[in-house]
Amino acid sequence: MISLKDYNDLLEDMEIGETRRFNHLGCKAGTDSRRRLYVSRTDNSPGMLLAYCHNCGDDGARSYAGGLKFRFGGKVPVKKASQTESNKIVVPPNLDLNVSQWPLEAVSTLHTLAKDIDDEVHTHLDVGYNAADHRLYWPMAEDVVKGGKITFAVPDLKGMQSRRCLGGGGQKYLKSVSRSFQGYTFLEGEDKLVVIVEDIFSAIKCNKAGFNAMCLYGVHASPESLYKVMSKSNKAVVWLDNDSDFILERAYKIKKYIQLMNKEVWVQETGIDPKHYMVSTIHEVLKDD
C-alpha cells in the first residue's frame, strides 16, 4: 500500500476534483522519474485522498484533513482560510530580521525558499523570523521599480506572507493582505519579457536574471491584473510549479488571457518553479525566448 506521509506538505491545499502527480518514492517497479504516482481528491470522496502508481500498480488512500475543517453534523468539507483581509497589516512585534540570530530550522527554511540567493535575499526583500509561532514572514508590495526593495518599513504595507519553519505546526503558508492590495507584485527588470510565477522568491530570481516578474502569490490571475502587467511588457512566460494537472490548467488559462491581448506568451512546463533553479540557469532558459 502506498504511504503518502512523504508528500504531506504537497497535498495539504488540494482542491476538490484535483489530481496531482509525483515521482513515486520507493516504487516497487524501480526508480520513477516520470511522475507516475497520481493522487486525487475526488468529488465523490472529498474527505479522502486516493493514490495510484501507474508504474508499479500499487495504490493507497488516507483521510484528507490538511487545510480543512468539517461542518458540524455534515460531511461537506469547508476550506480553512489561508488568507485574511484587513484595513491595516499588523507585523509581529518581535520579528527578527537578523539571520545570524535565527535557529537552524529557520535558516534551513530560508535556504529552501531562496536557494542560490539566500545570502543576499535581504537586499531585495525583508525576511524575518518570529519565535512566537516559529514562522518566517515577509512583506508584500505592488509595483517595485528596478533595484527597489520590498520592505516592512513603509507607511502603507499592502500585505504580508509567512511560511512555517521546519518542525513547526500550522498551515504551510499564510497570507494577510490589505483590502486595497491589487493581488500581485510586479518587479521591474531590464528586459521587456515578464515571467509570471507563484511566489516572491521565484519572482526575485527571475528579476535578478534581468526580466520583469509578476508574483501571483498563488496560481490565480485576474484579466485586469494581466492587462496592467502586459502594458509594461511585450511578451510573457507563465512559469508555475506545474506539479499537478490543476496548476497546469491554471497556467494555460493565464496564457489564453494574454493571447487575447495579442501578446506573445508561452508556458514553461518544467514541473518545478524558478526558485529551485540557479539565477544563471533561469537566464539561460529565457534569454533567447
69-126 pLDDT, tens digit per residue, is 332 333 333 333 356 666 678 899 999 999 999 999 999 999 989 888 878 889 999 9
CA pair distance 223, 8, nearest whole angstrom: 32
Rounded to 5 degrees, what are φ and ψ at 175? Answer: -145, 135
| Full DSSP string of 113-136 | HSTTTTTTGGGTB--EEETTTTEE
Max mean pLDDT among 1-5, 37-41, 260-264 falls in 260-264
> Which residues of the chain form beta strands (DSSP E)?
18-22, 37-41, 48-53, 59-63, 68-70, 77-79, 83-86, 128-130, 135-140, 143-144, 159-164, 173-178, 185-187, 191-197, 211-215, 235-238, 264-267
Max mean pLDDT among 11-15, 56-60, 72-76, 97-101 falls in 97-101
- The predicted model scores a pTM of 0.70
Q: For each of the domains in the chain, give its residue range(s) and CATH number, in order of start.
A: 5-79 (no CATH), 85-178 (no CATH), 186-286 (3.40.1360.10)
Q: Is 190 helix (H, G, I), strand (E, B) or coil?
A: coil
11: number of Cβ within 10 Å: 20
133-146 pLDDT, tens digit per residue, is 999 999 999 889 88
Q: Is 159 helix (H, G, I), strand (E, B) or coil?
A: strand
Q: Kindly state the cell numbers that stand for 120.
A: 543576499
DSSP state of 30: S
* Pure H helices in 125-244: 200-208, 223-230
